[in-house]
Structures are given as C-alpha cells and as structure tokens.
Chains A and B, each alone.
With several copies, the nearest count.
Chain A
Amino acid sequence: MIETKPWSRDAMAARLAHDVPEGWYVNLGIGIPTMVADHVPVEREVIFHSENGVLGMGPAPPPGAVDPWLINAGKKHVTLRAGGSYCHHADSFGMIRGGHLDLCVLGAFEVAENGDIANWATSENDTAPAVGGAMDLAAGAKRLWVIMEHTTKDGRPKLVERCGYPLTALAAVTRIYTNFAVLDVTAGGFAVIEMVPGMTREALQERTAARLAFA
C-alpha cells in the first residue's frame, strides 16, 4: 500500500465548499460539515440555513460581539447576513422537508452503496438515542452530501454495501467527501471522481467495504 497523505478535515471541508455554487440554500450538520462555511468566500453568496429558524447565517461573531440570542443548530453563536431572516420551527422544517434546500451536508457513521445513510445511532450507544433534525434533512434536501473520514478510527470502512447501524434515511446520499476521495452514489454503486494525491485504486478499494467504480 502506497503511503498517502489524507486530506485534513479542513481540506475536506474546503474540497466540498469548492463544489457549492453561488445561490444555493445549504444546511450544514454538526461537526466537519459546519467547517464548510469557512471555505465559501463571502463574495460567493451561499445562503446557510439552520434548523432552529435562521436563514442567511453568517460566520461566528468576533469575541466581544456575541449576541446570546443568535445560535445555530449546534448551539454555537453565529451572525446573520443582510438579507437573512428568522422563522419558527415548523416553517423552518417546512423549508427542509419541502425540498427547498439545494444541499444538506451531514456527517455519517456509514453510507451504503445505494445511498442509505446511518448517522444518528450506533449499537454502542448506552445513552439515549438522539436524532435531532437528521432524518428530516436527509429525507428533505434536494441533495444530500456526506463528509466524513473514510474509515473509523480503528480502520473499519464506513462506505459499505449495506448499513449495519440504524438508518437515518434510505437512498438519500448522492455524494461523499472523505479524507481519501470524493465519490458519487450512482445506480451502479460508489463511483470515485477524485482521490487524494498518492492514493491508488487498490488502496482505496481496500479501505472500502463495497465495490468501487472508477471513471
């Protein structure tokens, strides 16, 4: 196996951000997805949505300028851009479920080759399960992209033939950004559209528990 330097989380977020065009309405999940916003230049107008009724979110406020009344779905303080607006939870999820978001980016425990996603519960949870808005977002957005490490910390593939963990939504994911590659979910399964420099087809396949197609 050839040694490769995987993309950092920041690089993954930047890679995904590169594919988000101006004018899209985008919801970013907690974790790596949130980092995507930092890589969209402010002059490229992308309108970020947060489940808790914020549309047109801006970046985190500078220290000293925090408004305690303005948080995102991750409970972090944010700002509002000119043109932004507030709404209540039923209206906010109307936007989500009604297919008005061009893109949702989520993390995941597993993605299956048919686009199934598992990202809310693992059999290892001994605390109570917590779903939040993940199922609404996964089922509702026009496109669902996943951004995650290619494998778990102990090297288990997260791209699989069939999810083992409880599902969040069926056949929802259309694209995955990992620390090793960018993949599309196609009718024929995972199709690799880009790999980290130094990565080989064989090495990527080894780290993946489903058959990969290469363009």
Chain B
Amino acid sequence: MIDKIVPDMNAAMAGVVSGSTILVGGFGSVGQPNALIEALIERDVRDLTIVANNSGGGVVGLAHLMQRGCVRRLICSFPRSSNSTVFEELYRAGKIELEIVPQGTMAERMRAAGAGVGAFYTPTSYGTKLAEGKETREIGGRMHVLEYALHGDVALVEAWRADRWGNLVFNKSGRNFNPVMAMAARTTIVQTQHVVELGALDPEAIVTPGIFVDRVLHVPYGDPVG
C-alpha cells in the first residue's frame, strides 16, 4: 500500500542537507509551510539557496532561517515588506546573495522545471536591468528574454487536504506557488492541515496529484497569522 503520510518531522525532513536549493511555498503569510521551515532551522542545515516569493517578515519562518545564517542565497521576486528587516540587514551587510526574478518568470521557471522544459522565451523584463546579460530573441515581432528552468532539490509545500497517495488541494489563496514548487523539486515535502481517506478528494478537483509529492506530514496548525 502506498503511504506517503509520514509519522513525524524527522521522517518528513530526512535527507534534507546543507547546500540544497529549497523551494518554499506561500505568498505573504498564506500557504506558507511554517512548520517545515522551522524544522530546517532545528536541523541546522546551512548554505541554502532559498526560492520564495517573499523574504519573510519579523523573526519567524524564512526571516528566522536567515537570521540563523542558514541561507547563502535568496531567489525571490519581492524581498521587501513592512517588516522584512532581517533580510534587509543581511543584504546590506553583504551576508546574503539576492537574485531578483519577476514573479511570473519565477513561477514559470519552476513550472518549466516540473514540466521538462529546459528554457523558454518570455517578453517579461525585456529591456530592463533584470534582463542584462541574458539572451534575447525576436518572436512574432516582439522581443523576448531567454529564461532557464529553476529546479529545486527540495520543495516545502503547504496543503489544505491530502491523502495517502499525496494528492493535494489547497485553500483559496493558499494555493499560490505551492503546486508549482511541488512539480519542480526532486523531493517534495508537504505539511497539510487535513488528512483524508484515499478517494475522498474529487478526482476532477485535485490540484496537485500525488505524482509530484514524496512525503506528507499532518500539521493542523490553523489559520495564517498576519
């Protein structure tokens, strides 16, 4: 019997090592796999490349991970927020590398990784600083920039409901980057609010099929805060 539900955090995070590229779901505080992020801190994995839309706020989650010096490089579309002081201080001090990627390009680069597309041409960012040094090509009368697939070693994902095959659905805007990152990593680890019986999820409405999921941990933490 296939059972991707793991009993505890140790089993969930097994094999996550320093030096990894880790894709972290969430947009703002919604759909963020906070328990899994905290586990990264506890395991003291270092030298990480983190791919996430935001840089975290306050001193929890990603901000906490950065504060602990675990992150070498951040690939991100919007590292600024009202309370993203941890990241900003590290960045100004030259203690963290930053690759700014337009939000849609970031999503598409991970979707490409998940879908076996090596690279693609997008009109986004053509003629801007973020396209400097990148190949360009005119297609259909419009200039495009070449962007490469962005693979993760690990994806940390938050889901609303999951079954033992790893099928996932999400809750409203908690979906965001989670399904895209689940496709793009070698090992996809999910924290889910609810675990349901196999067959309980509507086959027409499964957003992330279990083929993209390796481990599921039940973490019924409640609502996002902030």
| CB atoms of B88 and A127 under 8 A apart | yes
Chain A interface: which size bin? 35 or more
If A72-B173, A96-B104, A167-B127 are given as contacts, then 8 extra A-B residue pairs at C-beta distance below 8 Å, sorted by A number, are A85-B204, A93-B103, A99-B116, A128-B79, A128-B80, A129-B100, A131-B101, A135-B128
User: Shortest beta-carbon distance, B61 to chain A, in Å?
Assistant: 14
Binds B, one of A52-60, A154-162, A187-195: A52-60
Closest 10 CB pairs of A and B: A82-B199, A97-B116, A93-B104, A94-B115, A136-B104, A90-B111, A85-B206, A130-B80, A89-B107, A98-B116
Residue-wise, chain B 155-180 has the 8 Å CB interface mask toward A (1 for contact) of 00000000111010011111111111
Chain B residue at minimum C-beta to C-beta distance from A118: B128
| CB atoms of B203 and A132 under 8 A apart | no
| CB atoms of A83 and B199 under 8 A apart | yes
Contact of A55 among B92, B103, B209 (CB under 8 A): B209
Binds A, one of B10-18, B37-45, B117-125: B117-125
Contact of B223 among A49, A68, A100, A139 (CB under 8 A): A68
* A90 with B107, Cβ < 8 A, contacts A71-B28, A85-B209, A98-B116 known: yes
Residues of B within 8 A of A98 (CB): 113-116, 183
Residues of B within 8 A of A69 (CB): 30, 171-174, 223-224
| CB atoms of B183 and A52 under 8 A apart | no
User: Shortest beta-carbon distance, A126 to chain B, in Å?
Assistant: 7
| CB atoms of A90 and B123 under 8 A apart | no
| CB atoms of B173 and A136 under 8 A apart | no
| CB atoms of A89 and B123 under 8 A apart | no
User: Shortest beta-carbon distance, A187 to chain B, in Å?
Assistant: 17
Residues of B within 8 A of A99 (CB): 116
* A94 with B114, Cβ < 8 A, contacts A69-B172, A83-B165, A169-B128 known: yes
| CB atoms of B2 and A22 under 8 A apart | yes
User: Shortest beta-carbon distance, B207 to chain A, in Å?
Assistant: 7
Task: Say yes or no for A197: interface residue by CB 8 A criterion.
Answer: no
Task: Say yes or no for B60: interface residue by CB 8 A criterion.
Answer: no
User: Shortest beta-carbon distance, A77 to chain B, in Å?
Assistant: 10
Chain B residue at minimum C-beta to C-beta distance from A67: B172
* A139 with B124, Cβ < 8 A, contacts A68-B223, A75-B28 known: yes
User: Shortest beta-carbon distance, B139 to chain A, in Å?
Assistant: 13
Chain A residue at minimum C-beta to C-beta distance from B207: A88
* A139 with B126, Cβ < 8 A, contacts A47-B210, A93-B108, A126-B92 known: yes
Chain A residue at minimum C-beta to C-beta distance from B174: A69
Task: Say yes or no for B24: interface residue by CB 8 A criterion.
Answer: no
Task: Say yes or no for A33: interface residue by CB 8 A criterion.
Answer: no
Chain A residue at minimum C-beta to C-beta distance from B55: A128
Complex Cα spacing A99 to B115, Å: 8
* A71 with B77, Cβ < 8 A, contacts A47-B210, A89-B103 known: no
User: Shortest beta-carbon distance, B127 to chain A, in Å?
Assistant: 4
Complex Cα spacing A135 to B175, Å: 22
Chain B residue at minimum C-beta to C-beta distance from A82: B199
Residue-wise, chain A 112-128 has the 8 Å CB interface mask toward B (1 for contact) of 00000000010000111
